[in-house]
Every structure is written in structure tokens, then in C-alpha cells.
Amino acid sequence: MAAGRIGVIRIDEVRAGAVRHGMYLAVFVIAFSGTLYADTTASLSSLAAQARVEAHNWRADAELVQVELLAFGFGMGPSGYPDVNKTGPPRGALFHFRSPSSQQALRVAADMTRGTLRPEPLSAPASPYTRGIPADVSLDFERAIKQAKAALGTECAGGDPLISRSCTVVTGADLHMESDGSTLSRGIWTIRFGQNPRTLRDISRSVNARTGQVIASKSNQAGPDEATGQIPSLRATAVGLRFFVGLQQPTQRQYDDLFFYNAARYIFWELYLVHPAPGRRTSVTVEEIWKGPSGDVIWRAKHDFPVQEELTASVFWSGARLVGAKTVEIPNQFYEDCMRRRQRQPWGPSCSATTGVDVERWQPGDYEVDIVVDKRLVATGTFRMDEKDRIYDEVRARAADRSAPRGFIPQLDAKVTALRFYEGDATTASRAQRSYRTQFSQATNRDVNWELDLSHPPPHRWLPLTIEALLFYRDAGGDRVVQRKVLQSAAPADWSDTHHTDVFGWEDDYYYYRSGATTRSPGRWMPGMYRVDLHVGMTKVATGSFEIR
């Protein structure tokens, strides 16, 4: 195990990145056999209507401000016994009402198996919400749970297997109204799950009750142990945390989130920051904390990074080589010589046809790197070590996806507004200086940048956004993938309508061979049509084409 290199580079050296633009608790353990979600949803709607009548009898101006679903039990497995990895329907509900005129509250407890209600007047509200839920807001929590689970992505992967299996189990749900930053408000289902198996942080997702889409919500705000994306002392915002593989003295940065466990040497992280010019030379002390596949801390170190007085963006980087040794047997090249000596001198040392060699390799699995400044978690990123064939199988499966792009990123509540292409440096030129086009000259063009424009509200927490880009080339045999590249960008908590950009070129054959190609790299742009598919998680979100002439 060895620590790696550290450094600071100016932003104009970077080839890619992102640019801005009262409580009630009940615990139940129950298994369900025949009850269907659809039946329970219908029951919830009926009980909600009855609860509204009870509340109106209590206070004429009573407003329903929150619906809580309780006692999610375990679903039944194929064996007929409860399966702790499956979620059953809820057995109870709480309807919270508030009287604006009296500032008093009514809580109505519902037994969803018996269809009974028990109203309980309160001297003060037990719910933190104050906006009334209109009667036409959907109570279809089944759809909300389905969408929330689909948006978990890889958050439940890796770490402790027992926690990983229970990570997707629903532990609670509630419906309330939330402002979108204007005078309008919308119904939000917040679905709570188990813990992230690597960080042990609680997981939740918010779903728009009307559209059924997973959204960025105030209820998704970062907890005290989650990444903030901010360095207050520098007034800096993190816009990405990427990883690349290289030697101890890296001369190239080969960015990825999947690495060969038996071939990778040093893995480096790069933290991208935007900030006002400090006006004087300063420095930032950064602590890097590496967690291995088990979730345990396997390496940590501190570094002081200088920040130039005139810079408005900075990139810090460091790396480590956290390998273990394994002894493998290989043919002994001196075996025949040894046997000849034994014939002349039978009393000599014995001969072995094999010999042991220590091979250093990373442990397969998921790794997490946390970046801490002033004892506050600023950013966190992940990568995976795996077998070559398994990685290539994933890439081939992604390349075979011919579906239409969804045009939406659920975890960010983001709509794709454009995927555009341009020449030049992806980071030094402002967006106003970029010349977007779909045709480029083979004679003069070196790189083609793509830019993904997103429309979304502020996510209220720092959200990492990993975008996998596949470059296809159209020849006589059809479209074939010729490059694969990963951009690990982010959406800061208070930013809306972000855009994210990266570059394709032929200076490094790494990205050609990471596409699974088995032929020699062309090493240059070939005339013809190219297509770029962008994937976030398991979903294709955008596609676009350009031509090299």
C-alpha cells in the first residue's frame, strides 16, 4: 500500500467539467401475505376522505397538511415466508390537520387493515408542514415507491452485504405540499429507505405526487454527515470529483469510474472548484479519506493546496495505490537447468517446476473517496475495481441500447434541453464564446466537445452526477462504439439549470480500448457521421450527432 502524488493545476489545464449557470413515531414488524398495494391505495383514499369529514366537524377551516404511512412490513418470499428484502404495504396512517384560525391541530390515526379512524385533538401541531393538501392530489403511494426505488441507482451497491440487501426496503413515506420557489406549491411524496451500505447514511427520495417523477426536493437537503459541496473559507463550490488511473508521476489523466483490479496502479482524484478570486495567495488544507469495498477506512492523508490570488477556479488532486499482494505460481524458467544439475549431482537441492511470484492488485469492489475541509465533508465520489471481462460486458450492453433517450434525469428533477457540440477548449472559453455546430473539419479539428444543458430547480443538496458518454462511428457495417468516457460532474445545492461538458479526441487511445474495441485504434478522426449517447445510471438521457468532413 502506498500513498500517491498530490498537486494543484490551473483550470485552463483542465479538459472537462461542469459550469454553473413536532414528531410521531411508531415501530411495527409485520409480514403480509395477500394484501395488494392497489387495495391499500384505495383504502388510503377512502380513509383520507373520512378523515377530512372528521376534521371539518372539529374545525370548519381544518386543512390536511401531511399524510404519514406507517408500519411497512416485509413482503412474502417465494417460500411463503416473510422476506426481509421485500417491502409489504403499510398497516397504518396518520392524517395531520391544522386550523389556521386557532393554530391548533388534529391528528387522525388510521388502522388500514380494519378501516377505522381515531381522531386526537392536539394543542399544538405535531407536523412541521403548514400548506393544505388539495383533495385532488394523488394518494397513489405505490407509484411513488416504484419511481423512488428506480432512482436509487447504485446507492445500495457495495459495502456490508446485509445492509446492501435491506437498503431498498421502504421504512416510511409521507405526503406534504412544498413550494417550488414561487407562490405555487406541489404535492411531494417522500419515500424513506434503509441505509447506504458504504456510508451508513439514511436514504430517501422525493416524488412529485401529480407526475410521478422523482424530483430534487427540500426534503432531500443534506444531513450533517453529507457532502455540502462548499468550502466557506474560500467561498468555493465543488462542481465535480473525478478519478483517473496512472503511474506515480502521472503524465496523462485517463478518467473513468471502472478500473481493472489487477492492472490499475495509482488511482487519483480531482476536485473541481469555482470561487471568487481570493485577491491574495492563500491555501486550503484538504483531508482525503478512502473507504474500501467493506466500507472501512483504508487510507487517509492531509495536503495543503495553494490557491493563486487571481484565479476564479481551481483543481486539487491527489492519489493512492492501495494494493495487496497475492502469491501466484508460474513456470520456473530455471527448472530444466536445475534438473540437469541434479543428474550430475543427485545430492543437490530439489527442483520445482513452478515458482511463486507476488502479484500486487486492488481488491475488487466499490471504493469511496471523501474530501474533507475544516472537518466538513465537501465532496464524495466512487469508483469500482472489477474484472476486465465484466467491465467490457457492461459497456457492450450499454452500447447495444437503441432505445430513444428519456430526456429526463429523475434524481435531479432535470429536463434535458439540449445536447450540443463545439470545437476548442471546454473550460477556458465561456459559453458565449462557443461556436456550436454539427459539422467539423478533419483537417483542422483536434477535439469535439459535447455540452449537456439541463433545466431543473435547485436540488437543495450537493448531488454528484456521473455521465457516461459513448461515441459511435457509422461505417459500412452500421454504428459501432469507438470511445467510452465518463464525466463525474455535480449539481451544487443552490444552482439551477446547470450544464455539463466533456471532450472526445484521439490524443489518448485509452478511451478507444475502454469501449471494448479489439482492433487497432485509428488515432485520428475519420470522415463520416458520429453519434454521442449520454447515460446517467441505467438510463439513456440524450443523444446527438455530428459529422467530420
Burial class (CB in 10 A: 0-12, 13-18, 19+), 441: exposed
Lowest model confidence (mean pLDDT) among 225-229, 377-381, 413-417 = 225-229
Residue 227 lies in a domain: no
**Non-local CB neighbours of 403 within 8 Å, separated by 6+ positions:** 540
Lowest model confidence (mean pLDDT) among 27-36, 311-320, 530-539 = 27-36
Instruction: Verify that 352 and 477 share a domain, yes or no.
Output: no
Report the pLDDT value the prediction gives residue 25, as an integer from 0 to 100: 31
Residue 26 lies in a domain: no
Residue 30 lies in a domain: no
Residue 24 lies in a domain: no
7, 298, 319, 357 from 288: Cα distances, Å: 13, 11, 9, 32
pLDDT tens, residue by residue, 156-175: 766 666 666 778 889 899 99
Residue 213 lies in a domain: yes
pLDDT at 428 over 70: no
Domain count, the chain: 3
- Choose the final residue of a domain: 220, 252, 270: 220
Expressed as residue numbers, the domain containing 127 is 37-220
Burial class (CB in 10 A: 0-12, 13-18, 19+), 444: exposed
Across the chain, mean pLDDT equals: 85
d(CA 350, CA 335) in angstroms, rounded, equals 10
d(CA 265, CA 262) in angstroms, rounded, equals 9
pLDDT category at 358 given cuts 50, 70, 90 is low
Mean pLDDT, to the nearest integer, of 432-446? 88
pLDDT at 32 over 50: no
**Non-local CB neighbours of 134 within 8 Å, separated by 6+ positions:** 187
Burial class (CB in 10 A: 0-12, 13-18, 19+), 409: buried
Interior angle at CA 108, CA 104 and CA 111, nearest 5: 170
Instruction: Verify that 504 and 533 share a domain, yes or no.
Output: yes
Instruction: Verify that 404 and 459 share a domain, yes or no.
Output: yes
Instruction: Verify that 377 and 431 share a domain, yes or no.
Output: yes
Sign of dihedral through CA atoms 154, 157, 159, 165?
positive
pLDDT at 121 over 50: yes
The 3-class SS string of 55-114 reads: HHHHCCCCEEEEEEEEEEEEEECCCCCEEEEEEEEEEEEEEEEEECCCCEEEEEEEECCC
- Look-up of cell digits 387522525: 108
Name the grid cell of 15. 479538459
Report the pLDDT value the prediction gives residue 108, as an integer from 0 to 100: 96
Report the pLDDT value the prediction gives residue 40, as an integer from 0 to 100: 66
Helices (H), 177-235: none
Best CA proximity match to 307, nearest among 299, 320, 318, 316: 316
d(CA 258, CA 535) in angstroms, rounded, equals 15
d(CA 445, CA 431) in angstroms, rounded, equals 19
Instruction: Verify that 311 and 343 share a domain, yes or no.
Output: no
Bridge partners for 414 per DSSP: 409
Instruction: Verify that 332 and 262 share a domain, yes or no.
Output: no
pLDDT category at 216 given cuts 50, 70, 90 is low
Q: CB–CB of 252/305 below 8 Å?
A: no
- DSSP line for 254-270: EE-SEEETTT--EEEEE
Report the pLDDT value the prediction gives residue 325, as an integer from 0 to 100: 73
Bridge partners for 175 per DSSP: 67, 189
Instruction: Verify that 101 and 171 share a domain, yes or no.
Output: yes
Instruction: Verify that 210 and 303 share a domain, yes or no.
Output: no
- Choose the final residue of a domain: 197, 220, 243: 220
Report the pLDDT value the prediction gives residue 24, as an integer from 0 to 100: 31
Residue 29 lies in a domain: no
Instruction: Verify that 287 and 337 share a domain, yes or no.
Output: no
Instruction: Verify that 193 and 73 share a domain, yes or no.
Output: yes
How many CA atoms are closer than 13 Å to the CA of 195, on its beta-carbon side? 11
pLDDT at 39 over 70: no
Q: CB–CB of 499/19 below 8 Å?
A: yes
Residue 22 lies in a domain: no
Continuous segment of H or E residues that includes residue 476: none
pLDDT at 33 over 50: no
Report the pLDDT value the prediction gives residue 431, as an integer from 0 to 100: 79
Mean pLDDT, to the nearest integer, of 60-72? 93
pLDDT at 4 over 50: no
pLDDT at 382 over 90: yes
d(CA 195, CA 197) in angstroms, rounded, equals 6
Strands 258-260 and 297-307: unpaired
Report the pLDDT value the prediction gives residue 88, as an integer from 0 to 100: 75
Instruction: Verify that 8 and 86 share a domain, yes or no.
Output: no
Report the pLDDT value the prediction gives residue 319, as an integer from 0 to 100: 96
Interior angle at CA 231, CA 228 and CA 233, nearest 5: 145
Q: 86 or 140, which is more confident?
A: 140
Highest mean pLDDT among 3-17, 138-152, 344-358: 138-152
Instruction: Verify that 249 and 380 share a domain, yes or no.
Output: yes
pLDDT category at 9 given cuts 50, 70, 90 is very low
Lowest model confidence (mean pLDDT) among 175-179, 303-307, 372-376, 417-421 = 175-179
pLDDT category at 211 given cuts 50, 70, 90 is confident
pLDDT category at 23 given cuts 50, 70, 90 is very low
d(CA 26, CA 44) in angstroms, rounded, equals 18
pLDDT tens, residue by residue, 227-254: 899 999 999 999 999 999 999 888 889 9
Name the grid cell of 512. 478507444
Mean pLDDT, to the nearest integer, of 358-380? 91
The number of beta carbons lying within 10 Å of the beta carbon of residue 534 is 23
pLDDT at 540 over 90: yes
